[in-house]
Amino acid sequence: MLSYFALITLVKLSGLLIPFIWFLWISNRRWRTWGTVAIVVLFIVSYINTYFNLPDLAYPSLIDGWLMWLIGGFVVVAVLRRFVFNPNGVTERAVNEDSFIGRLMRQFGVTIGWIGRLIGAAVAAFVLVLVLGMVSSVITAMNPKPAVSSIKTEINNSTDGAPMPVIKKSAETPVVNAPQTVSTDMNNSLNSFKNSNVYDLNHMRVQMYKGKMVYVAPVEFSGGFWRYIHYLKVPGYFMTNATDKNADPKFVSKPMRYTPSAYFNRDADRRINAYSMGYTMVGSTSQLEVDNNGTPYYVRTLAKPLSYFNRNYDFKHYKVAVLNTISGKVKVYSPNKVPKFVDVAATPELVQKEVTMFGKYRHGFWNATSFGGHNDVMKPTEAGTEGGNTLTPYAYKGRIYYFTGMTSVNSHQSSILGYAFVDARTNKLHYYREHGNVMTPERAISYAQQDINPQNYKGTLPLLYRIGGKPTWVVSMLDRDNNSFMKFVYLLADGNNQGGTYAVGDDAQSTLDLFQQRVSAKTGVVAEPKVTGKTISGTVERVVKPDSKQILFILKGDSHVYRMDTSSKSFQPIFQFIQAGDKVSFKATATDKNQLATANVGLDTFKNQSLTPTKAK
């Protein structure tokens, strides 16, 4: 890998090649020797800087460096040629020192010799490079259209086909584990392996693993260089189910030698940087993903600027670097050739940039300014968990999507104009216009925390689902001290939540039932969610009627609590005579692995053999 950085350093210093050849041509033997030594020293210093600081290797940055060395080299050689290697140099220096500028500077006590002129020329060269940079910045800022055009975009006039998860029954559990909760639980589980006190958890990534949405977080070195020298590898990573509020972090023992917290050639970011010539490494560090065999890999998106002067990202022609944490081998893929196990080929930082540019500059730069018409100018909401609090990950049909609501740039408006769903694997942006009255996730969190939250929990991870065909915000409420999950909050997203169309609960089942009842009361439409769980048969052990709206019972040998809703249309009056000893069968669905969780009984399938009428003889 050292040879890669030697090549990178040569590319960076290649601007000195022509000035150095000129220098060798005009100088004497002694100056050639010192010049060669200076070039070697410069190469060594630049090599060390490149190796440890991992500079941006995108072409504009490389060209900037090349121009700086080229111009600076010509300036130095030109000054040496005129004032050092010129036989008439003494006379010319005296003439130049007696010039108007020289006399003016002497009045201020400043004498300009050839060294001063060298410094002045170097400053002039720096100013020239600075001007080029300023021109580039202006063009980048005022010409965002090519970058927006490079986004693979699908615009839909309605939300009918949006990859918005549908909750029809409690078995379809919403994402409940917020990153804060997962991080706290994982840190509390660090004693799962030997010498855990020398390791830490610094970042995590959401992905699909064997059909389930999970969080994966690598164990990293804590304590710096000497800890690394002593252990040389980290023991593995943690994995947690994203949709089970009772899920415990599972430690997977997979020793990894190549990680972002390692040093020298085993630094994951350094190894990927060596393969990123012409591209920018997006994000603060590489992120861990695992294949279906549990083998860990570090993944990083490599973005390419459009041109030297327009340095906005080309969102279509990016690369994905994949590092095997065990062997250290790096492979760089085009977007359409990324391995199947990589669910997040486009890092959240890249997605955040393209969603922001899509919302602001779809109709060009001037349209988004105070001089323009602000036609379709939007901004992403800021209640997410990734990408600068802009994006929230969704799992939909086995794929990871980054979701954000798009709202008006007018701060007085708090309604959703549309939704952006970005496929994290293909980086395709799907935009769906919203024609209804839907509140922003920030407003949903505000309702959850202020109006329905006497315990002063904090709301996070607002996700938009369809329940009964209506868009509904599902907010996870966390304890402010330890980030533990405390409550579900379901809020009808129609923007008029003053009507009380929300529900608070400890589990998905009870919260969904209460929410559907409140929506039915508001709309006048009775919700009849059909229970499609497995068929249960047995003998009734105990019956409890806590109120007029429900009947609870348990079966012999089964500690589940089963519930019949007496307000349901399919409830028959004869069902209320159920008693201990009755033999019954029905369908039921429980959303919690805890056997004490209440399971709803499908009344359209309920049969009580003890009450079955017999034909008269």
Strand partners, 426: none
* 2-13 vs 59-83: helix crossing angle, rounded to 10: 50
Task: Take residue 209 and report the two structure tokens written for it.
Answer: 């693993």
| Reported confidence tier of residue 117, pLDDT bands at 50, 70, 90 | low
So what's the pLDDT on residue 387? 86
So what's the pLDDT on residue 593? 47
Say yes or no to pLDDT of 231 above 50.
Answer: yes
The answer to whether residues 211 and 398 touch, using CB atoms and an 8 Å cutoff, is yes
So what's the pLDDT on residue 313? 95
Instruction: Note the pLDDT tens digit of each residue in 61-84.
Output: 999 889 888 988 888 888 788 777
Say yes or no to pLDDT of 172 above 80.
Answer: no
The answer to whether residues 156 and 99 touch, using CB atoms and an 8 Å cutoff, is no
Which is more confidently placed, 532 or 363?
Answer: 363
Instruction: Note the pLDDT tens digit of each residue in 325-362.
Output: 999 999 999 999 999 999 999 999 999 999 999 999 99
Classified as helix, coil or strand, 562 is strand
| Reported confidence tier of residue 93, pLDDT bands at 50, 70, 90 | low
Say yes or no to pLDDT of 590 above 70.
Answer: no
Say yes or no to pLDDT of 98 above 60.
Answer: no
Which is more confidently placed, 224 or 401?
Answer: 401
So what's the pLDDT on residue 80? 82
So what's the pLDDT on residue 118? 62
Tell me the average pLDDT across 2-21.
Answer: 91
Distance CA 63, CA 78 (A): 22
Tell me the average pLDDT across 425-448.
Answer: 88
- The CA angle 398-400-401, to the nearest 5 degrees, is 125
So what's the pLDDT on residue 528? 54
Distance CA 268, CA 468 (A): 47
In single-letter form, the type of residue at position 9 comes to T
Tell me the average pLDDT across 19-39.
Answer: 92
Instruction: Note the pLDDT tens digit of each residue in 287-330.
Output: 999 998 999 999 999 999 999 999 999 999 999 999 999 999 99
Number of residues that this document lists for the chain: 617
DSSP string, 56-74: --BHHHHHHHHHHHHHHHH
Tell me the average pLDDT across 20-33.
Answer: 91
* Contacts for 566 with CB less than 8 Å, ≥ 6 apart: 548, 549, 550, 551, 575, 576
Instruction: Point out the least confidently predicted range of 56-60, 145-149, 502-506.
Output: 502-506
So what's the pLDDT on residue 305? 95
Distance CA 203, CA 220 (A): 9
In the chain, % of residues over pLDDT 70 = 86
Tally of CA atoms within 13 A in the half-sphere of 444 that contains its CB: 33
Between the ranges 23-27, 40-44, 168-172, where is the mean pLDDT highest? 40-44
Which is more confidently placed, 468 or 545?
Answer: 545
The answer to whether residues 585 and 571 touch, using CB atoms and an 8 Å cutoff, is no
* 114-142 vs 89-97: helix crossing angle, rounded to 10: 70
Tally of CA atoms within 13 A in the half-sphere of 65 that contains its CB: 16
In single-letter form, the type of residue at position 94 comes to A
So what's the pLDDT on residue 546? 81
- The CA angle 171-177-178, to the nearest 5 degrees, is 140
Tell me the average pLDDT across 144-158.
Answer: 93
Say yes or no to pLDDT of 104 above 90.
Answer: no
So what's the pLDDT on residue 617? 43
Distance CA 529, CA 394 (A): 24
Distance CA 201, CA 249 (A): 13
Say yes or no to pLDDT of 616 above 50.
Answer: no
Say yes or no to pLDDT of 367 above 70.
Answer: yes
| Reported confidence tier of residue 456, pLDDT bands at 50, 70, 90 | confident
DSSP state of 16: G
Q: Which residues of 168-181 are buried (b: 16+ CB within 10 A; e: fewer)?
A: ebbeebbbbbbbbb
Contacts 24+ apart (CB under 8 A), 493-500: 493/416, 493/438, 493/439, 493/444, 493/464, 494/436, 494/437, 494/438, 494/439, 494/470, 495/414, 495/415, 495/437, 495/438, 495/439, 495/443, 496/437, 497/439, 497/444, 497/447, 497/451
Say yes or no to pLDDT of 427 above 80.
Answer: yes
Strand partners, 586: 536
The answer to whether residues 479 and 486 touch, using CB atoms and an 8 Å cutoff, is yes
So what's the pLDDT on residue 182? 86
Residue 538's CB: how many other CB atoms inside 10 A?
16
Map out the domains of the chain as residue ranges: 1-142, 179-345, 346-427, 440-527, 535-608
So what's the pLDDT on residue 510? 74
Strand partners, 400: 395
Average model confidence (pLDDT) across the chain = 84
Residue 496's CB: how many other CB atoms inside 10 A?
11
Task: Take residue 590 and report the two structure tokens written for it.
Answer: 């429980």
Distance CA 41, CA 35 (A): 10
* Contacts for 232 with CB less than 8 Å, ≥ 6 apart: 257, 262, 266
Distance CA 30, CA 13 (A): 23
So what's the pLDDT on residue 196? 81
Tell me the average pLDDT across 86-92.
Answer: 59
So what's the pLDDT on residue 189? 86
Distance CA 317, CA 306 (A): 9
So what's the pLDDT on residue 100? 52
Binning the chain into helix, strand and coil, the percentages to the nearest 5 are 35, 30, 35
Contacts 24+ apart (CB under 8 A), 539-542: 539/581, 539/582, 539/583, 539/584, 540/578, 540/579, 540/580, 540/581, 540/582, 540/583, 540/584, 541/580, 542/580
So what's the pLDDT on residue 491? 86
So what's the pLDDT on residue 496? 57
CATH of domain 535-608: 2.40.50
CA distances from 62 to 12, 121, 141, 592 (A): 6, 22, 20, 56
